[in-house]
């Protein structure tokens, strides 16, 4: 095995140029929601070169939408193919899903980007562009890991199921469709941008919309009205208290250094229409973190109860209850024990390449790992290059060396998990 690792290390040492080339081409395809096809075409071509068994299909919304964890604002997935590519093992080993999403969030305000958001420009060892960290760098790491093993003539015992899915950024329909199509494995790795940390547990999340009512009046006689902004302050305080209570219960050591393991974030606020009128409506939108060991139904119920309790302290809410709507995306939480063999495998692979122990934490955000573990019963570790500090922001980038490093670790993990034929 020492020998294989050494060969792997040498092989990756020569891949920088190829890594940049593949990642640049992927980043240059602006695969925002509903525009995934051309980026998937690059994936398909690469998988074909690797002689994997390709399964390419457009998820059928009619079949999916009845599923309790189906979340999407789309009405169809035409021209938004899911790609699964299987590298069959020789038999007798553990199977492994390598899951990565091809969709990227929109580039946002272009003027805040120093270069074209889809330039794929390389500077000081970093490749820039929307999706570089989240998560085309991870995708390239997976593809390189498979290529490395093939290049060294290694044949794995267990099956490797590479998945390039759509819709992760909007709730996970791509991964859900792959699970419902029957893809299962003994474990899964998702190379989301963890900054090379290992996440055996991850927070789920729910989006909510709160409508707070007031009563309009002229600003000069504002005492004749009820300010929805003022009432929204009370709602905000209520959610802060709920957040405090929920986080007090989190005693998992993986959250030891996290100030707020499962935050409730108010992301947007909109209210009123005229400076000199008392606003009669405020709408708040936000994200509620769901603990790894909690169901989304439990989390929803807690917020519902908290909002109902508002009327105990403020009678206004008795006749004007806050309207709560769960909308948009949701990510299921996910959890495997820290003693789980898959985590040990990835930990070992990390040590082999890096010569140091990895940081093991609970993820502050959800991934498709929630669907894999909860719907597919597939133990999942999230681990990858790139960092969320730059994901979703202007001038997103990834360090090329981290992509190669993660690829090498994943290759090592594949060997350990799936087993090598003839060794």
Task: Cite the active site residues.
Answer: 103, 168
Name the residue nearer to its own copies (CB basis): 273 or 319.
Answer: 273
182 binds its own copies (CB under 8 A): no
What is the rounded CA–CA span in Å between residue 394 and residue 399? 16
Contact residues for 228 (Cβ-Cβ < 8 A; gap 6+): 212, 213, 214, 271, 272, 279, 280, 281, 282
68 binds its own copies (CB under 8 A): no
Owner of token pair 């504002």: 222
Name the residue nearer to its own copies (CB basis): 363 or 414.
Answer: 363
What is the rounded CA–CA span in Å between residue 418 and residue 400? 27
Rounded to 5 degrees, what are φ and ψ at 233?
-60, -45
281 binds its own copies (CB under 8 A): no
- Which residue from 68, 259, 355, 422 is in contact with its own copies, where contact means CB under 8 A? 259
Which one of the spans 27-35, 280-288, 313-321, 410-418 is the region binding its own copies (CB under 8 A)?
280-288
What is the rounded CA–CA span in Å between residue 90 and residue 201? 31
For the CB of residue 208, give the shortest distance to its own copies in the complex, in Å. Answer: 8
Name the residue nearer to its own copies (CB basis): 207 or 317.
Answer: 207
Name the residue nearer to its own copies (CB basis): 263 or 321.
Answer: 263
- Answer yes or no: are the C-beta atoms of 404 and 16 closer than 8 Å: yes
Residue 390 structure tokens? 């730059």
Residues 342-371 that bind its own copies (CB under 8 A): 363-366
286 binds its own copies (CB under 8 A): yes
- Helix then strand count (H, E) for the chain reads 12, 16
DSSP lists the bridge partners of residue 87 as 160
Count of residues that interact with its own copies, criterion CB under 8 A? 53
Q: Per-residue string for binding with its own copies, 78-117, x by CB under 8 A?
A: ----------------------------------------
What is the rounded CA–CA span in Å between residue 318 and residue 118? 51
328 binds its own copies (CB under 8 A): yes
For the CB of residue 235, give the shortest distance to its own copies in the complex, in Å. Answer: 11
Name the residue nearer to its own copies (CB basis): 300 or 351.
Answer: 300
266 binds its own copies (CB under 8 A): yes
Strands 126-128 and 334-335: unpaired
Using CB atoms within 10 A of its CB, is residue 422 exposed (0-12), middle (13-18) or buried (19+)? exposed
Rounded to 5 degrees, what are φ and ψ at 13?
-60, -20
For residue 3, the SS3 value is helix
Contact residues for 233 (Cβ-Cβ < 8 A; gap 6+): none
- Answer yes or no: are the C-beta atoms of 161 and 97 closer than 8 Å: yes
- Which residue from 11, 77, 208, 417 is in contact with its own copies, where contact means CB under 8 A? 208
Name the residue nearer to its own copies (CB basis): 150 or 277.
Answer: 277
Owner of token pair 């940049």: 20
- Which residue from 119, 164, 205, 380 is in contact with its own copies, where contact means CB under 8 A? 205
Which one of the spans 87-95, 276-284, 345-353, 400-408 is the region binding its own copies (CB under 8 A)?
276-284
Residues 382-421 that bind its own copies (CB under 8 A): 388-389, 391-393
Residues near its own copies (CB under 8 A) are 203, 205, 207-209, 216, 218-224, 227, 229-230, 232-233, 236, 259-260, 263, 265-279, 282, 285-287, 289, 328-329, 363-366, 388-389, 391-393
């Amino acid at each position: 095995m020492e020998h294989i690792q050494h060969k792997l290390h040498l092989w990756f040492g020569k891949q920088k140029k190829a890594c940049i080339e593949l990642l640049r081409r992927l980043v240059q395809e602006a695969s925002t929601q509903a525009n995934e096809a051309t980026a998937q075409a690059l994936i398909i071509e690469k998988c074909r070169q690797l002689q994997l068994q390709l399964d390419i299909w457009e998820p059928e919304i009619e079949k999916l939408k009845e599923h309790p964890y189906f979340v999407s604002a789309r009405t169809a997935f035409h021209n938004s193919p899911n790609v699964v590519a299987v590298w069959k093992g020789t038999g007798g080993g553990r199977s492994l899903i390598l899951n990565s999403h091809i969709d990227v969030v929109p580039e946002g305000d272009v003027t805040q980007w120093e270069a074209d958001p889809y330039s794929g420009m390389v500077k000081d060892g970093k490749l820039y562009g929307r999706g570089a960290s989240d998560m085309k760098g991870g995708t390239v790491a997976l593809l390189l890991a498979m290529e490395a093993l093939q290049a060294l003539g290694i044949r794995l015992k267990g099956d490797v199921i590479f998945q390039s899915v759509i819709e992760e950024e909007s709730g996970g329909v791509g991964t859900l469709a792959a699970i419902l199509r029957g893809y299962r494995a003994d474990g899964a790795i998702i190379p989301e941008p963890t900054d090379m940390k290992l996440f055996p547990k991850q927070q789920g999340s729910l989006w909510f919309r709160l409508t707070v009512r007031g009563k309009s009046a002229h600003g000069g006689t504002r005492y004749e009205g009820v300010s929805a902004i003022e009432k929204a302050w009370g709602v905000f305080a209520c959610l802060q208290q709920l957040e405090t209570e929920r986080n007090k219960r989190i005693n998992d050591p993986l959250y030891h250094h996290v100030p707020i393991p499962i935050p409730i974030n108010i992301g947007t606020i909109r209210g009123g229409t005229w400076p000199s009128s008392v606003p009669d409506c405020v709408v708040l939108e936000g994200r509620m973190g769901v603990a790894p060991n909690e169901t989304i139904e439990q989390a929803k119920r807690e917020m519902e109860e908290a909002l109902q309790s508002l009327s105990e302290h403020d009678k206004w809410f008795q006749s004007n209850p806050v309207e709560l709507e769960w909308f948009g995306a949701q990510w299921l939480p996910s959890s495997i024990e820290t003693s789980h063999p898959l985590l040990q495998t990835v930990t070992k692979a990390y040590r082999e390449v890096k010569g140091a122990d990895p940081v093991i934490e609970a993820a502050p955000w959800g991934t498709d790992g929630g669907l894999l573990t909860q719907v597919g019963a597939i133990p999942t570790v999230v681990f990858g290059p790139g960092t969320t500090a730059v994901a979703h922001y202007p001038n997103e980038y990834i360090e090329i060396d981290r992509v190669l490093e993660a690829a090498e670790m994943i290759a090592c993990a594949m060997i350990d998990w799936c087993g090598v034929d003839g060794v």
